Structure 1
Amino acid sequence: MNAHNSVSRRALLTGGLATGFLLAFHLPLRAAVNEPVQPPDATEGKFAPNAFIRIDETGRTVLMMPQVEMGQGTYTSISAVLAEELDADWSKVEVQHAPPNDKLYGNPTFGLQVTGNSNSIRAWWTPLRKAGATARAMLVQAAAAQWGVEPASCTASKGEVAHEASGRKLAYGALALAAQGQTPPKDVALKDPKDFVIIGQPLKRLDTPDKVNGKAVYGIDAILPGMKFATVAACPVFGGKVGKVDDSAAVKLPGVRKVVVLDDMVAVIGDHMWAAKKGLEALKIEWNEGPNAAITTKDVWDDLRKASQKDGAVAKSDGDIAKALASGDKFEAAYELPFLAHASMEPINATVHVKSDSCEIWTGTQIMTRVQSEAAKAAGLAVDKVIVNNHLLGGGFGRKLEPDMVIAAVKIAKQVDYPVKVVWTREEDIQHDVYRPVYRDQITASLVDGKVAGWKYKVAGSAVLARWLPPAFQKGIDIDAIDAAVDAPYDFANFHVEYVRAEPLSVPTGFWRGVGPNNNVFAVECAMDELARKAGKDPIEFRKSMLTKNPRMLAVLNQVAEKSGWGQPLPPRVGRGVCVQPSFASFIATVVEAEIDDIGEIVLRRITSVVDTGIAVNPDTVKAQIEGGLIFGLTAALYGEITIDKGRVQQSNFHDYRMMRINETPKIEVIVVKSGEAPGGIGEAGVNAGPPALRNAILAATGVALRRLPIDRKLLAAGKKA
């Protein structure tokens, strides 16, 4: 039997819903924050073959950029793809943030102008190349027409068209206006990858210099004439409302301008952030806490564990799972992951100026058009009366896929006639996040002749897509929640995956870096190590025996075993753990080496990761993203948990929601495999690799099979003799 009750996540993410046409760029990113966004039809005097490309007579090339840069290196990689096919002069191209417009700038995967799911290069790979190549062909045609020669006799390189036979050359700027009148070719030839001169080279990040010298403009940096500052206090209980507010002391403080009371939030506007903050502290607020004031973490887990006992919607079923589980050596386990906050270094913020007939916003967001439409509702204006100026993001991790911070800022700014920058404190940010869901994954498997004969997997947790993108939630299946579960890399002849939607009591949930594979890679790879032990096999050899139909995964696993020194002797209470994963169309094998002392403290000694992400547009970015993702994921494994008491988040800042520190970070070696396959995603993959590899290293070192995160050091101390 082969039953698929829902479109697979992979099918959705590879079946583009829109197409685009782009050009290459350089990255100054230093536009004045109050400069109006250039409209897509501002093409006078320029070569503008589509909504993305502007080349003027000086050769200056501008791209209206639909994807956002939040530290993942997207702008540099996209510029490389575009410059490659355009044969552009890299020094003469720039980028501007595209205005919100799903029709013109929608991500080909989703049909929305959104950045996420590690798909900026995956989604735009073909459209970007076609855009650059088509624009180049039009410039060549213009030069050939001027010279009276055949286009095929001309070549392009570094922003010039040349006719070798006559020795003539024309720069793109000189051809810009003539190229505008050319008919775009329908089927332009793309370069053979062997001819790439930019793609595949270790490129320096174009955004680094301005981030180092302080010129980079983030959303929080927006400064407008006459602007005031505001900060907020939302009801500490999920779903609670504002009761009474005594602002008598606050309004007397120097610099305090106004107290704004919303349904579930109070804001203080001041001449500067300090005045706003002190004014907020001086308020006396009574909250109507509502029905969620007694909810605790235990209630959430009790509810999820109960829900997980139900039958789920079948996402995939191959073979005869009941028969397979009835034979062989049976294994059962459940794995649990907690709520997590995003804790981006740039706290959520938005600067807004609301007038009677318009609203303008300065922020950093992963989803511009949704910000625009939701701001329009909050302002009571038509969508076309709302301008959104997007900026660099100081971290997104999925948090800035939500428009809530902008909606609140618009409601606050409506109360005054001047621009207001609204900034959440770190405490408000962490305690009013949209959290990574709690998940419970149950696995039942059977072993026959040292291999998995049957594999039954059930995911229970939030359906984020049901709220965020309802058309993607079909027949009870959240395709994000089962990602990396339905496409596990192993040869399981009898394979069954179910999904149980279980929304946590009152706690808002959303996407978090690594999304669905967060829980599934952890559960699958932890179970595989336990099954290897049950079968009496080495964990890598056990996996290799079931990767015969997955040569790319098998290749990276073989290489990571060699590079990590797998099998070499280790001191007592030191172990190596492995994880393999096919996340985001990339193939990654990771080994973590860790030491666990007698009181359960963990020292990370070494991490080795081998990555096959197809054509690596910028190998340096691939390495950096794997390194950063590993640190991000291991931070969560070691320390990350949001807990609830009396309807309130208990954590508030980095003292009790810890980050991994520099001295805790081990040597990380990332090996990028040279590949001719289409690029995969890389920005989130490392996040999913670290936690299971660490957990499996702990199992190897201590014999303790942890089945939930974050790591419980008391269990490791108790099992010190194991």
Structure 2
Amino acid sequence: MTDFQTSRRSFLKTSAAATGGLLMAVNLPGTLGQAMAAGTVSTPNAWVHIADNNTITILSAHSEMGQGVHTSMPMLVAEELNVDLSQIKVVDAPPGAAYVNALLGAQITGGSTSVRGSWEKLRVAGAQVREMLITAAAAHWGVDRDQVKADKGMLLGPNGKKATYGYFAESASRLSIPEKPPLKDPKDFRLVGKRTKRVDTPAKTNGTAEFGIDVKLPGMVYATIVQCPVIGGKVKSFDGAQAKSMPGVQAVVQVSDGVAVVADSWWRAKKAAEKLSIQWDEGAVASISDASMLEGNRAAAKSGKVIPIIASKGDVAKAFQGAAKVLEAEYITPMQSHSPLEPMNFTAHVQGNKALLIGPTQFQQGAQGAVAGALGLKPEDITLKTTYLGGGFGRRLELDFIVQAAEISKAVGKPVKLVWTREEDMTHDYYRPMGVNNVKAGLDASGMPVGLHFKVTSQSITQRAFGLPKETLDPFMAEAAVTGYNVPNTQHDLVIHDTGFRVGYWRAVSHSMNAFANESFVDEMAKAAGQDPYAYRMKMLEGKPRYANVLKLAAEKAGWGKPVAAGRARGIALMEGYDSYMAQVAEVSLNKDGSVKVHKITVAADVGHMVNPDTVEAQLQSSIIFGMGAVLKHQITMANGRVKETNFAAYEPVRMYETPQIDIVLVKSTEKPGGIGEPGTAVAAPAIANAVAALTGKRVRRLPLTADAIRQA
């Protein structure tokens, strides 16, 4: 397997490409060169390019994987540049230091950071260009700057003077870039905060949008790959003679992770791959199972190295000793597959000491750096173009399939499109790790908590992906571990247990396990106290206005406290994640077979200042449905190191007929923007679990919430 394990600092040094004009070395569809098919292109800064025909192009450092960044990123620049969104073209930025996501330390799309990380940066970029254009026009016309106005692509001066942005772009680009240009007061926004249609919808509707799986290059051939059934295993030997004899097959190639078949069509490559005879060295995890992983996590929770998440508050042990009642519970979340609908794929063309990479990635610099390392090339000799992503959810942060495509192309000397089968995709994922959460609380005579001890035991993705030192706090394991509730004595710990299996960042990362445990346990405390779960939570939120507000809004919108239809019940949950505050109320019943039917999810979200409310709503709907799959259906199980779930028949997505009514309340806020792509996934789990417990009287503490799990609770 291909893991990128160098430090962030050394990685950025070796993989950052030059910034500035950033015109790509090759003419690719959708790149800057095509978008600006005019003459002279001027580049006032790394984000904005203006051609002399007044074509304005904005570079997006964030991959478009359905979350709307090709609309929200240009909106931020356009607002300060005083142009309409329709006047702008958007293309994906190449690898470059200017496009590093400051919140994550590399050029990465993930962690719900696109708007959070770009809110000020892109507004400044737009304002810089606006001010430089005004200065250039004022100098040319011999007037004061305050007599020049920039609006909708035109510079307007006294006595009817006017010119396009493109006319002055070249002279403006020679000026010094103002470090702190004046930014608009949000009350003056004309675009940001307004519901805006996505710019990528027409292309995705009419089929002209280019996803990785759509890429075509002259002379391109197709490849598929067969990897060891046990992740991490290697090829001992193989016989490719029968595969080579199949129609259209051009080569059988051994690469780092397996054996690839190259043919003149993907289907021919796939059929030929079925004829491969491979002997495997199954490696170190050939005996692992999900049962043994759970046993290991439970043992580590009892005796492993404890790492404090935050400093303890008060005296938890003393609080437990004096408590009127002590509650304890264990919550288990299984491994999850990313399973994006577009399987892993990438196109590569390696020629001598140059390489062209085209495809869906969330990690541009990582792709460039990993291929450079694997092929012995210089990073600056690798050109990378990002296509649309047919789903990412964290899987396309990984680099294995990209390196494979480059290795195959180098071996055959042709441009190659590598496409994994669905079975390879699902059984060779970087899975969300299994989690074990132990929570203990002491309640006073009124049923309110006086002490709380939270512990999460799981695998550190950051150790695997970025070389985090062992026995070091992994912040991506601690997300949503600490709640907003007022409890006088608290202790929050984590234990890192390495199962040896390959894990990766999954939508909402550890929020999904920690929120499930925390919010399920709050409901259990409320039940022990004989109190309403909503009222119980509100009692613990004094001085926490953003938490309390979304909880109140969700409860009111859902009709909390009012009767529900016969056979139904409601559950409620609350969380802050990625600087966004969210509450959800789920209304559920049971189907005849005992499975859970979710009728309605009501969500109230305070995400700070919104760029595009329309996208915020879409992201909430998406993340809730995604989370429902993990709550009600999905788990990755293993035996003898092999993943059992090989396709969607065993890992069934939430179907359209299963999708509930989703009612959304968006809080108008002037707070800094929060992330919205992921929190809904995490809050859905405890909201649904709490509703099921209210309906059945049975508390299921191990996901998924299947009919069998409910019967056995």
TM-score bracket for the superposition, by shorter chain length:
over 0.9
Find the counterpart in structure 2 of residue 212 from structure 1: 205
Cα-to-partner distance string for 1:173-227 (whole Å, 9 max, x where unaligned): 2221232233333432211111111011110011110001011011121111111
Shift, 1:159, TM fit: 1.7
Higher alpha-carbon deviation: 563-572 or 399-408? 563-572
Structure 2: state its 5+ residue gaps.
1-15
Distance 2:640 2:634 in 1: 20
CA distance 1:320–1:589, shift in 2 (3 Å): same
Q: 2:266 aligns with which of 270, 273, 289?
A: 273
Write the mapping of 1:582-593 to structure 2, written as runs, cut at 5 A. Answer: 582-593=576-587
* Runs of 4+ in structure 1 over 6 Å off: 20-23, 34-37
Cα contact 2:38–2:51 (8 A) shared by 1: no
Aligned: 1:377 with 2:373: yes
1:344 counterpart SS class: coil
Find the counterpart in structure 2 of residue 459 from structure 1: 456
CA distance 1:338–1:95, shift in 2 (3 Å): same
Distance 1:304 1:186 in 2: 50
Cα contact 2:45–2:129 (8 A) shared by 1: no
Higher alpha-carbon deviation: 88-97 or 674-683? 88-97
Cα contact 2:19–2:98 (8 A) shared by 1: no
Distance 1:185 1:296 in 2: 58
Distance 1:118 1:97 in 2: 18
Distance 1:267 1:322 in 2: 58
Q: 1:545 aligns with which of 539, 545, 550?
A: 539
1:152 counterpart SS class: helix
Distance 1:445 1:599 in 2: 35
2:694 counterpart SS class: helix
Aligned: 1:235 with 2:228: yes
Cα-to-partner distance string for 1:38-66 (whole Å, 9 max, x where unaligned): 69xx9993331222221111111112321
Output the amino acid matched with 1:93.
I
Cα-to-partner distance string for 1:49-101 (whole Å, 9 max, x where unaligned): 22222111111111232111110011111111111111024333212222212
Output the amino acid matched with 1:576.
R
2:309 counterpart SS class: strand
Cα contact 1:600–1:715 (8 A) shared by 2: no
1:318 counterpart SS class: coil
Write the mapping of 1:427-438 to structure 2, written as runs, cut at 5 A. Answer: 427-438=423-434
Cα-to-partner distance string for 1:578-636 (whole Å, 9 max, x where unaligned): 11110110011110100024642211111110111011110010000000000000011
Cα-to-partner distance string for 1:501-525 (whole Å, 9 max, x where unaligned): 0112x32001001112111111111
Distance 1:680 1:691 in 2: 21
1:496 counterpart SS class: strand
Find the counterpart in structure 2 of residue 366 from structure 1: 362
Find the counterpart in structure 1 of residue 91 from structure 2: 96
Find the counterpart in structure 1 of residue 46 from structure 2: 51
Output the amino acid matched with 1:417.
G
Q: 1:568 aligns with which of 551, 555, 562?
A: 562
Shift, 1:327, TM fit: 1.9
Cα contact 1:557–1:589 (8 A) shared by 2: yes
Find the counterpart in structure 1 of residue 606 from structure 2: 612
Distance 2:545 2:684 in 1: 22
Find the counterpart in structure 2 of residue 410 from structure 1: 406
Q: 1:699 aligns with which of 693, 698, 701?
A: 693
Aligned: 1:339 with 2:335: yes
Distance 1:50 1:82 in 2: 12
Find the counterpart in structure 2 of residue 493 from structure 1: 488
Find the counterpart in structure 2 of residue 71 from structure 1: 66
Distance 2:209 2:591 in 1: 44
Shift, 1:573, TM fit: 3.5
Higher alpha-carbon deviation: 680-689 or 444-453? 444-453
Distance 1:205 1:474 in 2: 43
Shift, 1:33, TM fit: 4.2
Give the number of aligned pairs.
689
Cα-to-partner distance string for 1:287-329 (whole Å, 9 max, x where unaligned): 2323433322211111111111125111211222221222222
Write the mapping of 1:668-707 to structure 2, written as runs, cut at 5 A. Answer: 668-707=662-701
Shift, 1:248, TM fit: 2.6
Find the counterpart in structure 1 of residue 249 from structure 2: 256
Find the counterpart in structure 1 of residue 346 from structure 2: 350
Output the amino acid matched with 2:450.
A
Distance 1:184 1:33 in 2: 30
Cα-to-partner distance string for 1:418-447 (whole Å, 9 max, x where unaligned): 111111000000000000000001101111
Cα contact 1:526–1:692 (8 A) shared by 2: yes
Write the mapping of 1:122-521 to structure 2, written as runs, cut at 5 A. Answer: 122-163=116-157, 166-310=159-303, 311-316=305-310, 317-328=312-323, 329-448=325-444, 449-470=446-467, 476-486=472-482, 488-504=483-499, 506-521=500-515
1:236 counterpart SS class: coil
Output the amino acid matched with 2:456.
V
CA distance 1:432–1:151, shift in 2 (3 Å): same
1:396 counterpart SS class: coil
Cα contact 1:21–1:127 (8 A) shared by 2: no
CA distance 1:119–1:275, shift in 2 (3 Å): same
Output the amino acid matched with 1:46.
V
Shift, 1:37, TM fit: 7.0
Distance 1:445 1:687 in 2: 26
Find the counterpart in structure 1 of residue 57 from structure 2: 62
Output the amino acid matched with 1:221.
D
Distance 1:109 1:61 in 2: 27
Distance 1:292 1:154 in 2: 68
Shift, 1:574, TM fit: 1.3
1:480 counterpart SS class: helix
Shift, 1:475, TM fit: 5.5
Output the amino acid matched with 1:435.
Y
Shift, 1:541, TM fit: 0.6
Distance 1:247 1:419 in 2: 21
Shift, 1:572, TM fit: 4.2
CA distance 1:683–1:201, shift in 2 (3 Å): same
Output the amino acid matched with 1:500.
V
Cα contact 1:572–1:701 (8 A) shared by 2: no
1:436 counterpart SS class: coil
RMSD: 2.4
Distance 1:194 1:130 in 2: 17
Cα contact 2:136–2:172 (8 A) shared by 1: yes
Shift, 1:124, TM fit: 1.1
Output the amino acid matched with 1:709.
L
Shift, 1:415, TM fit: 1.4
Cα contact 2:31–2:91 (8 A) shared by 1: no
CA distance 1:578–1:22, shift in 2 (3 Å): farther
CA distance 1:547–1:167, shift in 2 (3 Å): farther
Cα contact 1:333–1:442 (8 A) shared by 2: yes
Shift, 1:154, TM fit: 3.0
Distance 1:404 1:263 in 2: 9
Distance 1:413 1:281 in 2: 21
Distance 2:450 2:115 in 1: 37
Cα contact 2:38–2:53 (8 A) shared by 1: no
Cα contact 1:34–1:224 (8 A) shared by 2: no
Distance 2:221 2:369 in 1: 24
Output the amino acid matched with 2:237.
K
Find the counterpart in structure 2 of residue 11 from structure 1: none
Distance 1:566 1:251 in 2: 65
Structure 1: state its 5+ residue gaps.
1-17, 24-30
Shift, 1:555, TM fit: 0.7
Cα contact 1:314–1:498 (8 A) shared by 2: yes
Find the counterpart in structure 1 of residue 3 from structure 2: none
Cα contact 2:256–2:404 (8 A) shared by 1: no
Find the counterpart in structure 2 of residue 628 from structure 1: 622
Q: 2:526 aligns with which of 532, 539, 551?
A: 532
